[in-house]
Amino acid sequence: MDGIITVFVCEDSLDGIFTGVYDAWDSRLGHKNVRLEICQEEELELFCQYRPVETDREKAEKVFRTIERRMGEGAITHICQAAASADGRKADAIYRMVVLGLSLERGSEVVNCLTYGPVSTVMDLSQKAWHEAHKLMGFLRFSELQSGVLYGPVRPVHQVLSFLAPYFADRLRHENWLIHDVGREEMAVHRADMGWILVRDEALDAERLKWVSEKEARFQELWKCFHKTIAVEERINRSLQRQMLSLRFRSFMPEFADDGGRRT
């Protein structure tokens, strides 16, 4: 077996990765002989043994609690955010960071070990995922359907629904709303004054999403008008605008709808 690396292939979710961390550790193969990967990614390598990880909520929670207890809030926040990133390196980097963190006398120092590759990777991915979530907190647009439900479609690179949902749950507490990750077919559904849940693999009736309320068109027009007049003609600067608000966010924003969501 020596020299052969065992690859633990986990599901692309926080629970999946944490179960992978648990199993890899539990396998007692030695840290240098194991690797974590996210499933459906790249082709298989030689001299590797692939072991699929079956996501187990209980194991994942154990790992979560251990990290939280031993490494503190800072570390768990960054690890969760990194786990939401779309980068394939995340699973292994998280594993290495956890291994390092548990070996330190003061586990909370692990977030400062930026000279150690995996830690700096985790911090970097964490920042990227959070950054996108933060941008979408501003760029997400709701439209009001006839039923009064607010519908907000997004197409993020990273899995940011679990960051957006609690934010909007506080802000629009008395509204029924639905944030739809169009690319992943995932939804965060909020019921007024209750809570929110994450829903996967549930088809939405695309036709019904077009039935917007009476007021909707009027306020979209007002918003577009505001967006246009607030710009100072003497300072028009499309490339700065594009740098600050990249085109990929624009497809669901009414103020850019007239140019097919692409330019302006």
Partner 1 sequence: MQHIYMPEKISLMEKLKILSAAAKYDVACTSSGTSRKNTGKGMGNCTEAGICHSFSADGRCISLLKILFTNECIYDCKYCLNRISNDVPRASFTPQEICDLVLEFYKRNYIEGLFLSSGILYTPNYTMELIYQTLYKLRYEYSFHGYIHVKAIPGADQEIIEKTGFLADRMSVNLELPTAEGLKALAPNKNRGKILKPMRLVQNRMLENKSELAIYRHAPRFVPAGQSTQMIVGATPETDYQIINVAESLYQKFELKRVFYSAFVRVNEDKLLPVLPGGPPLLREHRLYQADWLLRFYGFQAGELLSEEKPNFNVLLDPKCDWALRHLEQFPVEINRADYYTILRVPGIGPRSAQRIVRARRMGRVGFDDLKRMGVVLKRALYFITCNGHTLYPIKIEEDYITRNLLAVKEKLPPGAGGQTTYRQLSLFDDCQALYSVGNKA
Distance separating alpha carbons of residues 1 and 6, to the nearest angstrom: 9
Distance separating alpha carbons of residues 102 and 66, to the nearest angstrom: 9
Residue with tokens 């499933």: 39
Contacts made by residues 50-53, CB under 8 angstroms, sequence distance 24+:
50/6, 50/7, 50/9, 51/6, 51/7, 51/8, 51/9, 51/23, 51/27, 52/9, 53/8, 53/9, 53/10, 53/11, 53/16, 53/19, 53/20, 53/23
| Count of positions on this chain that bind partner 1 (CB under 8 A) | 55
27 binds partner 1 (CB under 8 A): no
Near partner 1 in 116-155, by CB under 8 A: 116, 120, 124, 134, 137-144, 150, 152
192 binds partner 1 (CB under 8 A): no
For partner 1, give the closer residue by CB, 40 or 239.
Answer: 239
244 binds partner 1 (CB under 8 A): yes
230 binds partner 1 (CB under 8 A): yes
Residues 210-229, mask of contacts with partner 1 (x by CB under 8 A): -----x---x-xxx-xxxxx
For partner 1, give the closer residue by CB, 10 or 98.
Answer: 98
To the nearest whole angstrom, how small is the minimum distance from the Cβ of residue 206 to partner 1?
Answer: 20
Near partner 1 in 82-101, by CB under 8 A: none
Q: Measured between alpha carbons, how far apart are the two ends of the chain, in Å?
A: 59
Q: Which residues bind partner 1 (CB under 8 A)?
A: 109, 111-116, 120, 124, 134, 137-144, 150, 152, 168, 170-175, 215, 219, 221-223, 225-241, 243-245, 253, 255, 264
